[in-house]
Amino acid sequence: MAPITQGAKDHWSAEAYATSASFVPKLAGKLLQYLNPKPTDKILDIGCGDGKFTENFIPAIESVLGIDSSKSMIESANKDYGSPKASFRLVDCRYLEKVTSIVNGSWDKVISNAALHWILRDETTRMSTLRAIYGSLKPGGTYVFEMGGHGNVAEVKTALIYALVQHGIPIEKAKETSPWFFPSDTWMRSALEEVGFQVERIELEYRPTKLTTDAKGGLEGWVRLMGAQFLEALPEEKRDAVVRQVCDVLEDVVTRGEDGSQWLGYVRLRGIAKKI
């Protein structure tokens, strides 16, 4: 079946993700508790990435389909975790409503970790994606999610926008370049209710997160991978200087004096919603 990706550029690399953000799939303990996987569950994992997060619950369920818009991530997930009970498919979830083989009211549970703030960035498809998630579930089905919430990684976002402004990009354009949508719990509750969900729980948690210490990871690796779209607003020859500038500006803000470890101000928005 043809992938639904609308020809978008792949900003992700499974290799860079493992080097600079390996903590993401590991820090989802609460979300997995909320999923409460059962042996009969058929689960849809939205923005599944390289499958490392999905792998946490594969043994406990009947089957899972992971969907993601990154070719690199989907190839890696199929190679490492593909099996008769786990498959992974290229889908741009901004257009999930078009994939009638998935949005068919057949899933017991839908889960999404650390992906929705990318997927919902596009204002024109925001509500249709949430509606498609609702439509994919069985009546009585459960949607559990964790994503960046209001104020997430505010220090890096500010530094990146300001660096673009310093390099001649107008402030409005620099802000528009951000690939993230970090809503408040209030916004999310009302959006979920608007598409028909009954919201059982919604919470915003400040969760400082330790960066990797890998030579190619750390703050610089994180900025290059997660901030790729900001950097693309600049000519290629200016990008390395901007990464260095952003890391210099942030060094004091993110580094802990006692051991030199580096931490970002992650804010997680987590919830459980039911299709009634």
Ligand X SMILES: C[S@@+](CC[C@H](N)C(=O)[O-])C[C@H]1O[C@@H](n2cnc3c(N)ncnc32)[C@H](O)[C@@H]1O
Which residues contribute to the site for ligand X (CB under 6 A)? 12, 24-25, 47-49, 52-53, 68-70, 73, 92-94, 113-115, 118-119
Report the nearest approach of ligand X to the CB of residue 217 (Å).
14
Query: Which residue number, 232 or 238, has a Cβ lying nearer to ligand X?
Result: 232
Q: Report how far residue 149's alpha carbon sits from residue 264's, in angstroms, rounded to the nearest whole number.
A: 14
Report the nearest approach of ligand X to the CB of residue 122 (Å).
8
Backbone angles phi, psi at 24, to 5 degrees: -60, -55
Contact between residue 97 and residue 160 where contact means Cβ atoms under 8 Å apart: no
Q: How far is CA 268 from CA 50, 111, 147, 149, in A?
A: 20, 15, 6, 5
Query: Which residue number, 12 or 57, has a Cβ lying nearer to ligand X?
Result: 12
Query: Which residue number, 65 or 93, has a Cβ lying nearer to ligand X?
Result: 93
DSSP letter string, 215-244? TT-HHHHHHHHHTHHHHTTS-HHHHHHHHH
144, two tokens = 């559990």
- Residue at shortest CB range from ligand X: 49
Query: Which residue number, 15 or 240, has a Cβ lying nearer to ligand X?
Result: 15
Query: Which residue number, 52 or 109, has a Cβ lying nearer to ligand X?
Result: 52
Closest CA to 271 of 27, 35, 25: 35
Report the nearest approach of ligand X to the CB of residue 113 (Å).
4
Report the nearest approach of ligand X to the CB of residue 227 (Å).
13
Report the nearest approach of ligand X to the CB of residue 117 (Å).
9
Report the nearest approach of ligand X to the CB of residue 54 (Å).
8
* Cβ-based neighbours of 119, under 8 Å, separated by 6 or more: 46, 47, 93, 94, 129
Query: Which residue number, 150 or 238, has a Cβ lying nearer to ligand X?
Result: 150
Backbone angles phi, psi at 60, to 5 degrees: -95, 0
Report the nearest approach of ligand X to the CB of residue 241 (Å).
26
Name the CA dihedral angle for 141, 89, 120, 144, rounded to a multiple of 10 degrees.
Answer: 30
Query: Which residue number, 53 or 134, has a Cβ lying nearer to ligand X?
Result: 53
Query: Which residue number, 92 or 108, has a Cβ lying nearer to ligand X?
Result: 92
List b or e across 24-44, with b for residues whose CB sees 16 or more CB atoms inside 10 angstroms: bbebbeebbebbebeeebbbb
- Describe the crossing of helices 236-254 and 154-166 by its angle, rounded to 10 degrees: 140
Pairing of strands 263-275, 137-148: antiparallel
Report the nearest approach of ligand X to the CB of residue 51 (Å).
8
